[in-house]
Structure 1
Amino acid sequence: MSKPVVSVVKFNDPYQSLRQSLDLSEGLKGFSKEDKILIKPNLVSWDFDLPFPPYGVVTTSAVMAALVRILAEEGFTDLTIGEAPLMVPKTVGQAMFKVLGYQKLKEQYGVKLVDFNEEKFVKVDCGGFELSLAEKALEADKIINVPVLKTHNQTKVSLGIKNLKGCLNRKSKMFCHGAQNDLNHTFPHIIEKLPVALTIIDGVFGIAKGPGPTGKAERLNLLVASKDPLAADVVGAALLGYSASDVEHLVYFAKRSGGSINLADIDVQGEDVAACAKFLDYDWEWTPGDTGPLGYAKRGIKGLAVRKYDNTMCTGCSMLFNPLLIMLMSAYKGEPFPNVEVVSGKVQKASPGFDKTVLFGRCACALNKDNPNIKKAIAIKGCPPDLKEFEQMMREEGIMCDYNEYVKYRHYIYHRYKAGDGFDMGLYSI
């Protein structure tokens, strides 16, 4: 049996580098000029109110524009870009397409721009459970999957297989994070239902402690391409410093598909994987007693126990968990907190012995509504929660969280990326 081919190419000129990547991987082999092609980038979210550094978080517009140009030059005319970004609380797909310059692709090449959240979803049997997939994705003849080369604090890496979670409706995304489900054993079923013909991993930037912008981005200058989605992710994981055997969703998918997670079983064309690899940590370190981030302990924060996020926390709450930590830290003035516990997600139950319990998000509120261990509940019920409401309710309890400190933090993480270090916002416009 021949080995799956994966190309690893250094990113210089977007068009030339992607051309080389597709040539080495024979990425367009088997495509027909009549194919309805759906391009699925990673556009997980955007922030239109506060500074948002997209590096390593969303697919670069430079790679997307180069891909569309190549497809047009090869005679493909039925092109659609589709995504279902995070709803906070409403969908922002069309606004993201605009800010990323995709309107120019529509004008120049006739590319259709589809926010799946505004379209129809179809229930699909995934073997023991149902997921609702975007009808536009199911109707495509070929899907070109264009994820980012990034880590993920719940799944270690987020590459091609994980990126297809963006083809689900909101309810199904939440199901993947269910109390009775293993996240790593749900979303790998999605790719089995979709005609994914090519994976292109955008590694212009990568991010540690992803998937959101509060992680630390790196300029990596890599493109990975393959017609084999598992092989692409195995190589992508290796480039981030992880063996696929340590990434549960890749192990799970390999068992289901009969594929290999051994790098030696892949024909890598182009750059040497080991020479290009750079370890990016996926996890935020917590105290051994699960009382909060190690940074809290180092600062001497006492009287507060923030339980570590788990896989049942959906992306909406996950994106707000770091802001929660920043705002709690802003309330610390050297005195202990008034014996407070913070729980989140769908399985964390309030512990006995605390005077106040913060229930962060609708799921935590529902799970703990009759918990006898709670003396005073501070219920932040939103889905996802509202940070301004969190600030107000904490202040009513004498815990002086400051939303403005989080705003300052957002400005800090945006401005820490310098153009001289390769962080060019021009790569996110067309």
Structure 2
Amino acid sequence: MMNKNQIYVIYGNTPKTMIKEILTKARIEEEIDKSALIGIKPNLVVAKPSTSGATTTPDLVAGVIEYLQSKGYQNIIILEGSWVGDRTFRAFSVCGYEQLSKLYNVPLVDLQRDKYTEYDAGGVRINVCNKAMEVDYLINMPVLKGHCQTSMTCALKNMKGCIPDSEKRKFHTMGLHKPIAYLNRVVKSNLIIVDGLMGDLTFEEGGTPVQMNRVFVGKDPVLIDAYAAELMGFNLNEIPYIQMAERIGVGSADVSKAEIIELNKDCDVRKITRSHKVERLSKYIEEKDACSACYGSLIHALERLDERGLLARLRGKICIGQGYKGQQGEGIGIGVCTKGFSKGIPGCPPKAKDIVEFIEKNI
């Protein structure tokens, strides 16, 4: 059974198979009573398919349901409340969750239509939907993606779908970071499964998808978000709610003490059709058969450098990909395949944060 200090990581593009492999390793059934009400909370912020980079891949959720049902669990629900500008029932339909519900006989709970109760989250009063609090075991399934106001969104912010629309509006008047941190003192994730297959580069509603080809699983939402921030090239001080959540006892943000367990390595070189923004960033890259996870990390790193006004200082292109194995080079190489380059960063794949720090020192 996994502990709160562990994060399991798996790479690939077969989400149902991937999540079953992780759950088999994690043995979550050892901590769930057979009579427990299990709630699966995806990210369906808008009515857009997961290929947009905005929402949780339905096949990933299907894999979780199949695993749980194979272990004898039948009391499972999927619950979500989309953002105030969209309707959850539309997202359930467009994102493929109505089909999931019918196929596996798992009810869909629209939290926008649910009643709510006020809770004291240690000095911050927050209204939370009743059904979210009735769940015995909550599986939080966010998407690894950017956000226009908080820079990124992952495990901690995904709980915002468990509050009524009126409370979501109030969160924005409070600056988002503090209420997000305190919400997680009330709504507690028992397991976090992060959909890092196809997240968005900068925007929570999708439109600039980046193929990252990974799923990672843990039990501490603060640790998961701290790890996610590094994958996307952020420093912790750029995401205030992570450290706020750590200070109030939600979890630990110290990734250096985490046990990262990688179950495989990515070898998929297939790329999605690039958005205009990703295409612009790719002009700084010389790619030869790069794996999707490694290429995705580099795209996130280049976006962070662009935000800091440093991208224009690059001289020459950054090399990445399996096609560089065994070759020598004078420029910057990314990943273990370019270890023969004079300036290279190791990793398979490296984190975007490490790429950003390396490039900053070498331009």
Q: What is the TM-score normalised by the length of structure 2?
A: 0.70
Aligned position for 2:231 = 239
Cα displacement string for residues 331-386 of structure 1 (whole angstroms, at most 9, x for unaligned residues): xxxxxxxxxxxxxxxxxxxxxxxxxxxxxxxxxxxxxxxxxxxxxxxxxxxxxxxx
Q: 1:269 — aligned with what?
A: 261
1:137-174 CA distances to partner (integer Å, 9 max, x unpaired)?
00100110000010112112100000001111111111
Against the structure 1 CA distance between its residues 164 and 259, is the aligned structure 2 distance closer, same or farther, given a 3 Å change threshold?
closer
* 2:103 corresponding residue in structure 1: 108
Structure 2: 5+ residue stretches without partners: 267-292, 310-363
SS at match of 1:235: helix
1:172-230 Cα deviation digits (max 9, x unpaired): 1111111xx3321111111211241100000111211111224x211111001012222
Q: What is aligned with 2:67?
A: 70
Query: Separation in 2 of the partners of 1:191 and 1:134?
Result: 13
- Per-residue deviation at 1:63? 0.8
Query: Aligned partners of 1:167 and 1:106: how far apart in 2?
Result: 19
1:53–1:67 CA distance, 2 compared to 1 (3 A): closer
Partner of residue 81, structure 2: 84
Is 2:25 the partner of 1:32?
no
Separation in 1, partners of 2:34, 2:306 = 46
Q: Is the 8 A contact 1:25 1:226 kept in 2?
A: no
Letter in 2 for 1:175: K
| CA separation of 1:131 and 1:258: change in aligned 2, threshold 3 A | closer
Q: Shift in Å at residue 284 of structure 1?
A: 9.4
Distance in 1 separating the partners of 2:221 and 2:265: 19
Q: Of residues 120, 138, 144 in structure 1, which corresponds to 2:139?
A: 144
Considering only aligned residues, what root-mean-square deviation do their CA atoms show, in Å? 2.7
Give the 3 Å change call, closer, same or farther, for CA 154–26 of structure 1 in structure 2: farther
1:282, distance to aligned residue in structure 2 (A):
7.0
Q: 1:211-250 deviations in whole A, cap 9, x for unaligned? A: 1224x21111100101222222222222212233442111
**Aligned counterpart, 2:12:** 11
| Distance (Å, rounded) in 1 between the aligned partners of 2:250 and 2:89 | 38
Match of 1:248 among 231, 240, 251: 240
The 5 Å alignment of 1:278-317 reads 278=298, 280=300, 281=303
Residue 159 of structure 1 corresponds to: 154
* Match for residue 210 of structure 1 among 180, 197, 203: 203
For 1:184, which of 167, 177, 186 is the aligned residue? Answer: 177
The answer as to 2:190 corresponding to 1:197 is: yes
Q: Is residue 124 of structure 1 aligned with residue 116 of structure 2?
A: no
Name the structure 2 match of 1:94. Answer: 89
Q: What secondary structure does 2:60 align onto? A: helix
Task: Name the SS of the counterpart of 2:103 in structure 1.
Answer: helix
SS of 1:148 mapped into structure 2? coil
1:70-109 deviation digits (Å, cap 9, x = unpaired): 1111111111111111233xx5222221223323332232
Residues 126 and 167, structure 2, Cα contact 8 Å, conserved in 1: yes
Deviation at 1:261, TM superposition (A): 1.8
Match of 1:390 in 2: none
Structure 2 counterpart SS, 1:177: helix
Q: Distance in 2 between matches of 1:253 and 1:159?
A: 13
1:6–1:25 Cα contact (<8 Å) kept: no
Kindly tell me the number of residue pairs found equivalent between the two proteins.
Answer: 277
Whether the 8 Å contact between 2:4 and 2:219 is mirrored in structure 1 is no
Letter in 2 for 1:239: L
Q: Distance in 1 between matches of 2:235 and 2:26?
A: 22
Task: Name the % identity.
Answer: 26
* Residues 83, 166 of structure 1: 8 Å contact kept: yes
Aligned to 1:411: none
User: In the aligned structure 1, how far is the partner of 2:260 from the partner of 2:122?
Assistant: 33
Structure 1 residue aligned with 2:44: 43
Task: Report which stretch shifted further, 272-281 or 31-40.
Answer: 272-281
CA distance in 1, matches of 2:47, 2:120: 31
Letter aligned with residue 192 of structure 2: T
Following the alignment from structure 1 to structure 2, what is the Cα–Cα distance between the partners of residues 177 and 103? 30
Larger radius of gyration, structure 1 or 2? 1
Contact 1:37 1:141 in 2 (8 A): yes
The letter for the 2-side match of 1:213 is G
Post-superposition CA distance 1:49-84 (Å, at most 9, x none): xxx785221111111111111111111111111111
Greater alpha carbon shift after TM alignment, 255-264 vs 127-136: 255-264
Unaligned 5+ segments in structure 1 are 288-430
1:272 & 1:134 partners in 2: Cα distance?
A: 40
* Larger mean Cα displacement after TM superposition, 63-72 or 278-287: 278-287
